[in-house]
Amino acid sequence: MMNSDSAKPLGITRCGNMEFRWGQRTYVMGIVNVDPDSFSGDGLCDAESAIAQGKRFAAEGADIIDVGGESTRPSFEPVSAEQELERVLPVIERLASELSVPVSIDTYKSEVARRAVAAGAKMINDVWELKRDLKLARVAAEAGVPLVISQNQRDSRFHDFFPDLIASLKRSIQVALDAGVAWDNIIIDPGVGFGKTVEQNVEIVRCLAELKVLGRPILLGTSRKSFIGHVLDLPVDQRLEGTAATVAIGIANGADIVRVHDVAQMVRVARMSDAIVRGRHS
């Protein structure tokens, strides 16, 4: 059964050769989009560019590289599993063999996840909260890799936002546990964007600590998202400072991983935030 005692330590999650020791510091996930349709304007059309970006992110201090082959922007055009695999497998294979940091696969398709893990991915990041493909959790369980469960509101509407958000994640955690995913391998993401209003996205960052009741580490992905553009009235390529503000406040409110496009800058933000919040000065 799900353990919701938030007072207990989050423990350690092993990801390839790396250990995420939750609570000691904030980890940074660098985004590599092998998809020209990316909302953030950073989508890459070829494997070599994506590989180069992943290597640069690792050199800039990323703790994990998240590779995705399908856009998640509103009104995105879905791609087949075959096309997604053609995009991501060459990138994952190279990065997994040439980097010391682990690689994650950003997908909601179980077949893509299975093939990506076989190619070297050490984490699965599902932006559809296990709602699109129930077999995805089983892939994570059988591979023994961490699973990020991102809340997605596009197929539903909440009446009491934060309690409903927590209840949705709690149900999805139980789905993962029932499929055999280890408790220590579950990471939660409140899903900034993904059918939520500007006000709801702001509330997520402000009230992030409420998710601690679920007893699992929290991943926060605010980077360059539209609610920042709405608040600041800025296009996607001018949202660096807005992203930095959400990352810093998110860390103060309990984020354990931040998923970002601008790795070098956000590594610095995370280190400074950790010095203040966690008393970590190195």
Helices then strands, counting H and E runs in the chain, come out as 9, 10
Task: Give, as one character, the DSSP assignment of residue 67.
Answer: E
Q: Using CA atoms, how far apart are residues 12 and 20, in angstroms rounded to an integer? A: 6
Annotated active-site residue 138? The verdict is no
Known active-site residue 225: yes
Nearest CA to 58 out of 112, 94, 10 is that of 94
Closest CA to 190 of 178, 182, 181, 202: 202
Q: Which one of 259, 268, 271, 280 is the catalytic residue?
A: 259
| Residue of 115, 216, 225, 239 marked catalytic | 225
- What's the Cα-to-Cα distance from 86 to each of 23, 116, 124, 240, rounded to whole Å? 37, 11, 17, 31
- Residue 121 to residue 158: CA distance in whole angstroms: 33
Element (H, E) at 251: helix 240-252
A 10 A CB-CB count for 219 gives 23
Catalytic annotation, residues: 225, 259
